Structure 1
């Protein structure tokens, strides 16, 4: 009977137990630097068990060593080669966990299967309590001052942790929760994402928001540059000349000096008109009456007929 396409596809995605991969030799396993394959440390505070296990599973599949951590091997199969490989796996696990986790799971002469089970049970025990706490945290996340990248990463990490404890969050629920906690500056994006058909996935909604954030940053930089150019244009406007209103101000340098020179000239003119020795001029008239006499029209400007001097 022909196999249905859906079943065939599912079967092809899952590893087949009929032909397991050939495990690597002990000589190869002992030369592997596990930190280059699993660059993170499993830690209680970081809640990164999902990431750690994902990386570790890929290494086990790469070297064909899944059976060492999934099934307890019978004593008859524990050859010298097997024990060397198993000890190398124990060392891999110890090397990629933090000191507090090491203190909790460390045991002398433990197999890779027992150590792997202890780590898993420590992080996946009390699944219901963990699920309640993670669900409450997942639904309360707000973007605030976070960037779109940091905000979506935080939501994705919590969704992965819920999946690890047996309470996966559906894709539409993740998208709606993403829109719920968005900053108010993205309120115009929510109807666009909700109205898309077919609906957005979490990843596609995140990509759309990243493009929107990049567009907002570009507009902000453009407005800032325009404001800077406008400010420079105002500062280059011509200023009022210093010789304007300050001419009449006696406290200014040039205007005050000009006024003082004019007053000194008038005082010198008055002093010369009144005579230097007080002797009345010819004709018997006093010097006091001299300023009242007007010189004839033909005399030069500034000429004083009573003193015989030309006044500058």
Structure 2
């Protein structure tokens, strides 16, 4: 018979109050090996049967390996069978039943998530419900969901408000799935925070100026000379400070010089006296 540790990975302990889950795993493994009758039922021990005694000792080893040292000292005795130890463990966890039920109900009403993840918080709520069921004080799914929503922290406020408004009230498993999905979304947002960009105008730039924005008395007009002086060389005149066109060469403009026309000399004009004298001499 193989070791039971891989099949029952839970260590039974009084402070943890995990008897329900530990017992469930043990019964599953014993049923697989057809040995549940060693811990259940009213059959008398078959001490004369060599195979029965061998199997009973093996089950005793499984139980001792799966409980804490404190519990081992409480239940160990000579000449006991596996059923005797099993019954002693059950009585330890179900002793003072009414007081334990009251304590569990109080814990369920006041349980808070705190810094725990959604999965760990749901697991604790489910464990309390399972133990109450083991003590014959079962809490239905609706009660577990209300207890779950009551202790959520502020990060899950949106989901806690949405779940009670659903047309069909969810089961505990459905509410747990919704919280786990919200937990994944919050973790994703924490890994990839959104970037916010702010453009400061001339009147609300950091370090001075008016925060009102437009029409500020302290606002000074921008000078085209100042903006052109900050433009990198060889960049388009339309450069606005973003994405300059590499290798841009400004076009050379031809300078047109307007010259005044050169005044021309007037033709010589004939004298009236000389012309009349020559005419008279010709007539003579």
Q: TM-score range by the shorter chain?
A: 0.5 to 0.7
* 1:124-273 equivalences in 2 (<5 Å): 124-223=94-193, 226=195
Query: TM-score scaled to structure 1, two decimals?
Result: 0.60
Q: CA deviation at 1:32?
A: 1.4
Residue in 2 that maps onto 1:115: 85
Cα deviation per residue 1:239-266 (whole Å; 9 max; x = unaligned)? xxxxxxxxxxxxxxxxxxxxxxxxxxxx
Query: TM-score scaled to structure 2, two decimals?
Result: 0.65
Using a 3 Å threshold, how does the CA distance of structure 1 residues 75 and 40 change in structure 2: closer, same or farther? closer
- Separation in structure 1 between the aligned mates of residue 129 and residue 45 of structure 2, nearest angstrom: 40
CA RMSD of aligned residues (A): 1.9
Does residue 44 of the first structure (1) align with residue 26 of the second (2)? Answer: no
Cα deviation per residue 1:187-220 (whole Å; 9 max; x = unaligned)? 2223321122322111111111121222233233
Contact 1:143 1:182 in 2 (8 A): yes
Cα deviation per residue 1:88-119 (whole Å; 9 max; x = unaligned)? 11111111111100000011010111111111
Structure holding more helix per residue: 1
Contact 1:72 1:113 in 2 (8 A): no
Cα deviation per residue 1:6-36 (whole Å; 9 max; x = unaligned)? xxxxxxxxxxxxxxxxxxxxxxxxx311112
Contact 1:71 1:113 in 2 (8 A): no
Using a 3 Å threshold, how does the CA distance of structure 1 residues 184 and 76 change in structure 2: closer, same or farther? closer
- Separation in structure 1 between the aligned mates of residue 103 and residue 73 of structure 2, nearest angstrom: 25
Structure 2 portions without partners, runs of 5+: 199-284
Residue 60 of structure 1: which of 18, 30, 35 is its match?
Answer: 30
- Separation in structure 1 between the aligned mates of residue 172 and residue 76 of structure 2, nearest angstrom: 39
Question: Residue 5 of structure 2 aligns to a residue in which SS?
Answer: helix
Using a 3 Å threshold, how does the CA distance of structure 1 residues 75 and 100 change in structure 2: closer, same or farther? closer
Q: CA deviation at 1:72?
A: 4.0
- Separation in structure 2 between the aligned mates of residue 217 and residue 87 of structure 1, nearest angstrom: 49
- Separation in structure 2 between the aligned mates of residue 160 and residue 114 of structure 1, nearest angstrom: 24
- Separation in structure 2 between the aligned mates of residue 200 and residue 46 of structure 1, nearest angstrom: 29
Does residue 32 of the first structure (1) align with residue 25 of the second (2)? Answer: no
Using a 3 Å threshold, how does the CA distance of structure 1 residues 199 and 109 change in structure 2: closer, same or farther? same
Using a 3 Å threshold, how does the CA distance of structure 1 residues 33 and 144 change in structure 2: closer, same or farther? same
Structure 1 portions without partners, runs of 5+: 1-30, 231-312
Using a 3 Å threshold, how does the CA distance of structure 1 residues 112 and 146 change in structure 2: closer, same or farther? same
- Separation in structure 2 between the aligned mates of residue 35 and residue 222 of structure 1, nearest angstrom: 41
Using a 3 Å threshold, how does the CA distance of structure 1 residues 172 and 78 change in structure 2: closer, same or farther? farther
Residue in 1 that maps onto 2:70: 100
Q: CA deviation at 1:75?
A: 5.6
Q: CA deviation at 1:163?
A: 1.4
Question: Residue 46 of structure 1 aligns to a residue in which SS?
Answer: coil
Cα deviation per residue 1:124-164 (whole Å; 9 max; x = unaligned)? 12111111111111111111222111111111111112112
